[in-house]
Structure 1
């Protein structure tokens, strides 16, 4: 990564010192009016990090006119925008730099601040410095930070509407999930992670219904968060089997993070709350578990962080693509963002 940043810096220096003229601004070119490149064909499969890297490197060549490429601010901004949607912090930073310096695209400090913020939230020091000088972003995030249209992760138009939980009923359905019909049956049919310790599987199977959760969802989150290691601690001080940070632990009355029973119950309580908050949308609940519900609200979907996008995709794959989970509307009021998200989907 350092080598790529050094190359980008060298290209920038070459442009400043050796260019024959400034990068011409395209009149009226904004992020909202930016022509979008064609989406990858569905048969190409999910977008992988190497593809995102290629988009960024191609954008660099168009921005600076290197490696035989002509300077083309429109194509550069298009490709940065696409990579930014998939969580590439350097593309977010580079596009913000084009906006703050009117490099072929109209200056827009408000949208640049959002892009710098997304890169800063992923740990990019240069973006953190820029954001400190620009202040807190205002207004809605730009289109280049919204969920990719070619990636259905945060969208739910094709999924059945989620249902609140009904009264418990006898039979094979988990007691806390009765009343959700075919959705519940699909959850019950899912296998448990092959590396899940039997004692943890038994505990989750017994306790998850108390929290109105499918045990398979809890185990899939636990497998991704800690790989079933009760002593796991992340660089951000997330701890235990469910990788709770101290603030979340306190919020859900977990007094001893190192206690596996308390840790699992705290994670379940948070998952139940998130499913109610996002009305059963599993992708949004998972994204919030990883990045926080405020980030999901702010970006109106899965946040543009590479780690979060891969986290959600990995767990959804383990769950066989299950997108909806029954929820209890009495747990909390739904996110106000949901009406905005559904309105934007209906307008497409």
Structure 2
């Protein structure tokens, strides 16, 4: 028979191994014969909540991010504002632009993971992280630092054309160059550029 103490130890171990999991409640019910039942979905009022436990992994993709346009996103925006401002100053970026890219990329979720393997606030791919010396893509400071440096280089490469720099951040600089220094004709990139510029205008 499982005991609450054993469950708690098991769950604590899982939480340590997988810190990015969602939480739910666990309920206990003892019937008239003394049988003990545990569930996260109680079906009658006889169940009593005993613990909170990790229930399911949350993997993030561009279509599944922390809620945008809500207090939750705004809370995280404020939380990382000092890091964003510092990186913007270091790499001569408009802080509003860096905020706009982060909002579009991850909605300020430092644990965001896309289905292509991009990670963190600025959604860095492994090769981009390596290129800019980012060792831990989940670390907000390192992630913002690497993404800001990359964005700054793109702005320089495209002669301060923010629209092209943002397009290159999404599709890669080679694709922007390939299409004659224009936003590539990819629906995802065109929508991304429009979204970032919209946020940029709002943050300014």
Query: What is the TM-score when the length of structure 2 is the normalising length?
Result: 0.60
**Unpaired segments ≥5 residues, structure 1:** 1-192, 323-348
SS at match of 1:319: helix
- The corresponding residue for 2:95 is 215
Q: Is the 2:99–2:200 contact (alpha carbons within 8 Å) kept by the matching residues of 1?
A: no
Q: Is the 1:284–1:302 contact (alpha carbons within 8 Å) kept by the matching residues of 2?
A: yes
Distance in 1, matches of 2:112 and 2:176, equals 25
Q: Is the 2:87–2:148 contact (alpha carbons within 8 Å) kept by the matching residues of 1?
A: no
Determine if the alignment matches structure 1 residue 311 to structure 2 residue 192. yes
Alignment of 1:322-333 (within 5 A): none
- The corresponding residue for 1:252 is 132
- The corresponding residue for 1:277 is 157
SS at match of 1:250: helix
Return the structure number with greater strand share. Answer: 2
Q: Cα RMSD (Å) of the superposition? A: 1.8
Distance in 1, matches of 2:91 and 2:120, equals 19
State the Cα distance separating 1:255 from its structure 2 match.
Answer: 1.3
Divergent runs of 4+, >2 A = 193-197
Return the structure number with greater helix share. Answer: 1
SS at match of 2:124: coil
Q: Is the 1:254–1:262 contact (alpha carbons within 8 Å) kept by the matching residues of 2?
A: yes
**Unpaired segments ≥5 residues, structure 2:** 1-72
Q: Is the 1:255–1:262 contact (alpha carbons within 8 Å) kept by the matching residues of 2?
A: yes
Distance in 1, matches of 2:76 and 2:184, equals 29
Distance in 2, matches of 1:256 and 1:264, equals 11
- The corresponding residue for 2:141 is 261
Instruction: Count the aligned residue pairs.
Output: 130
SS at match of 2:201: coil
Distance in 2, matches of 1:262 and 1:206, equals 12
- The corresponding residue for 1:235 is 115
